[in-house]
Amino acid sequence: MQHSSALSFRDFVDGLRASGDAVFIEREVDSHLEAAAIARLAGERRAPAPVFENVRGAAEGFRLMGVPAGMSSQGNGFSRIAAHFGLHEASGPYEIVEHLVAAMHATPKPPVTVETGPVKENIIRGDEVDLDVFGSPLLHAQDGGRYFGTYGMHIVATPDGKWTSWSISRLMVNDSTSLVGPAMPMQHLGMIHEQWKALGKRTPWAFVLGAPPAAIAAAGMPLPAEVNEDGYIGALTGEAVEVVRTEMHDLSVPANAEIVVEGWIDPERTAIEGPMGEYHGYQFAEGSPKPVFEVEVITHRDDPILPFCVAGMPPEENHTIWGTMISASALDLLRSADLPVSFAWCSYEAATCWIAVSIDLDELARSPWDEGDLVRKVADVLFTSHVGWLVPKVLLVGSDVDITDIDRLVWALATRYRPGTEYVFSDAPGIPLVPYLSAEDRKAGRGGKSIMSLLQPEQLATGRTAGIAAEFTTSFPAELQKSVLENWEDYGYPAARGSESSIP
């Protein structure tokens, strides 16, 4: 059986516990709102991830875990995210994203099929199938139902077997043997479902909870259609993920997953899903019809852990994991197009509604760009991609600003945006979940896209920045800075970290 924080969810949880970044709660906690309330507050306070060992509403021994990829109070705050990829706990945005981009260009390592694994420790079929044993949590008081899948991945394959997709999309409990959730046509899940539907057939389907952390992250990455995420996971971790065959279909699932449900996506049957507190931070009042996912087999580990995300105001898993994977995809696309881009970052605080793009000022010094030309080229790259479908707004920022530091990014937005330098792309396609879209936008699947330039005229023409940031590291002689830092505690202050910029 594979072991590492990237390839085993159980090892990931144990690692968090050992470092003090997970707390195991033994007192009884109700799956009806209480578990979600604790998890939500833990996320907002950057407290350790809660693992609920005694869940009212679940069968004995069945556990829940909240905030699996939340920001941490430890170190630089990114340790829980870094652990998803087996990276050092001190890894920050630059190290994480560059690791993801490098893996996109490494040789894929397809999964290795093994005879069995921990996920087969318990196999439940037919009349014994009962989704209620898991204690799926009610996440918000206004939600339309309990959510089984908020941190799990769908596995489906095309009818010809040439493309297998591992992807993220939520699932609400419909009844004890079925789930309901989105399968939008622009999602890979929806694309493959439509192929089966066109044949008049049900879509063979499996859903995995407690997947290897690197797998759940890769499943949320906007890779191009017809790219198998399972090979990318091997490139990302350096080791092929071990998989076992499902009980019903010619599909493979991670051998050490916590929970797998198997069945079908019905081609016609729908039910009302939601409402649900959403990744963009809003709770709306009504649900809508979505496809029904019929469950005929459940396999799970002993004492399984069901991880969940309490979506809403950032940052939460939709922003930390999904946003990080979007950042890597965007950076790779822009670099591959030979644009003067040094980094891309989907700011967690912006609820996956904008992505900041760092424009390399050294490159501009060598080859200046006209602002309009640069904007149009960025739009051609991003707004025709899955990344651009997901993220509606792009900020172009000079590389003298650390775009991963939200305070500096807001400063740049306030002081460098010139009214009239926002370029609107009303015909670009986009995800209909963006809250400011009109009913017409949602129906058309377009609208609400823009690129905002925060580039100074001098930067575009010469690569030079007009003015420098007035702060500790720039406004005082180096010797005085050194003296102040060395005497900081003597002044009566607690020990503090240095003030050096985090731009690499």
Cα angle 227, 231, 232; round to 5: 80
Residue 321 lies in a domain: no
Burial degree of 141 (CB within 10 A; 0-12, 13-18, 19+): exposed
- CA-CA distance, 165 to 170, in Å (whole number)? 15
pLDDT band at 227 (very low <50, low <70, confident <90, very high): confident
Tell me how far apart the alpha carbons of residues 276 and 420 are, in angstroms, rounded to a whole number. 36
- Could you give phi then psi for residue 13, rounded to 5 degrees? -65, -45
Contact 214, 84 (CB under 8 A): yes
Q: In the block, which residue shows the tokens 């004995």? A: 60
- Run of H or E including 39: helix 34-44
Quick check: helix, strand or coil at residue 392? coil
229 and 346 fall within a common domain? no
Contact indicator for 276, 143 with CB cutoff of 8 Å: yes
**362: exposed, middle or buried (C-beta count within 10 Å: 0-12, 13-18, 19+)?**
exposed
| Same domain, residue pair 293 and 421 | no
318: CB partners within 8 A, 6+ apart: 279, 309, 311, 351, 352
Q: Enumerate residues 6+ apart whose C-beta is below 8 A from 227.
A: none
Number of helical H runs and strand E runs in the chain: 16, 23
How far from chain centre, in Å, is Cα 325? 6
Residues 353, 344, 500, 475, Cα dihedral to 10°:
-80
The pLDDT tens digits for 353-396 are 999 999 999 999 999 999 999 999 999 999 999 899 999 999 99
Residues 402-453 have pLDDT tens digits of: 999 999 999 999 999 999 889 999 999 998 889 889 889 888 888 899 999 9
Tell me, yes or no, if 26 is annotated catalytic: no
Angle at 376 between CA 375 and CA 381, to 5 degrees: 100
Catalytic residue among 278, 294, 316, 317: 278
Would the pLDDT of 503 be above 60? no
> For 1-29, how does the pLDDT look when each residue is reduced to its tens digit (9 = 90+)?
888 999 999 999 999 999 999 999 999 99
pLDDT in tens, 261-315: 999 999 999 999 999 999 899 998 899 999 999 999 999 999 999 999 999 999 9
- What six digits make up the tokens of 375? 């904007």
Domain count across the chain? 2
In a shared domain, residues 295 and 357: no
Which of 361, 370, 388 shows the shortest CA–CA distance to 448? Answer: 388
Question: Is there a single domain that holds both residue 264 and residue 347?
Answer: no
Q: What are 230's two structure tokens? A: 């399972």
Residue 285: its pLDDT value, please?
83
104 labeled part of a ligand binding site: no
Residue that is written with structure tokens 């306030």 in the block: 414
- Does residue 280 have a known ligand-binding role? no
What pLDDT shows up at residue 307?
98
Q: Are 424 and 466 in contact (CB under 8 A)?
A: no
Element of type H or E holding 407: helix 406-416
Q: Are both 347 and 304 inside the same structural domain?
A: no
Pairing relationship of beta strands 354-359 and 393-398 according to DSSP bridges: parallel
Answer whether residue 52 is part of any domain: yes
What does the block give as tokens for 77?
A: 């705050």
**pLDDT level of residue 498 (50, 70, 90 thresholds):** very low
pLDDT tier for residue 497 given thresholds of 50, 70 and 90: low
Identify whether 503 is part of a domain: no
Residue 420 counted as domain residue: yes
Residue 493, in any domain of the structure = no
Q: Does a structural domain hold residue 498?
A: no
Please check if 188 is assigned to a binding site: yes
pLDDT tens string 141-179: 999 999 999 999 999 999 999 999 999 999 999 999 999
pTM: 0.93
Q: Mean pLDDT over all residues of the chain? A: 94
Residues 63 and 210 in one domain: yes
Alpha-carbon span 289 to 274, nearest angstrom? 9
CA distances from residue 244 to 120, 134, 254, 397 in whole angstroms, order as listed: 9, 22, 6, 46
Residues 51 and 165 in one domain: yes
Domain that holds residue 254: 9-308
Q: Are residues 282 and 357 in the same domain?
A: no
Q: Are residues 204 and 273 in the same domain?
A: yes
Residue 333 maps to a domain: no
92 and 236 part of one domain: yes
Q: Give the torsion through C-alpha atoms of 370, 372, 374, 379, to 10 deg.
A: -170
221 labeled part of a ligand binding site: yes
Residue 39 counted as an annotated binding residue: no
State the CATH number of the domain containing residue 363: 3.40.1670.10
Q: What percent of the chain has pLDDT over 90?
A: 88
User: What pLDDT digit, counting tens, does each position of 321-363 carry?
Assistant: 999 999 999 999 999 999 999 999 999 999 999 999 999 999 9
How far apart, in whole angstroms, are the C-alpha atoms of residue 359 and residue 416?
14
Contact between 386 and 185 (Cβ < 8 Å): no
Cβ atoms 42, 291 nearer than 8 A: no
Q: What is the pLDDT of residue 459?
A: 96
Tokens of 328: 């890597």
- Shared domain for 116 and 209, answered yes or no, is yes
225 is in an annotated binding site: no
Q: Is 154 exposed, middle or buried (0-12, 13-18, 19+ CB in 10 A)?
A: buried
Name the 3-class secondary structure at 368: coil
Same domain, 136 and 56: yes
| Domain edge (last residue) among 308, 325, 354 | 308
Structural domain includes residue 103:
yes
Contact 159, 199 (CB under 8 A): yes
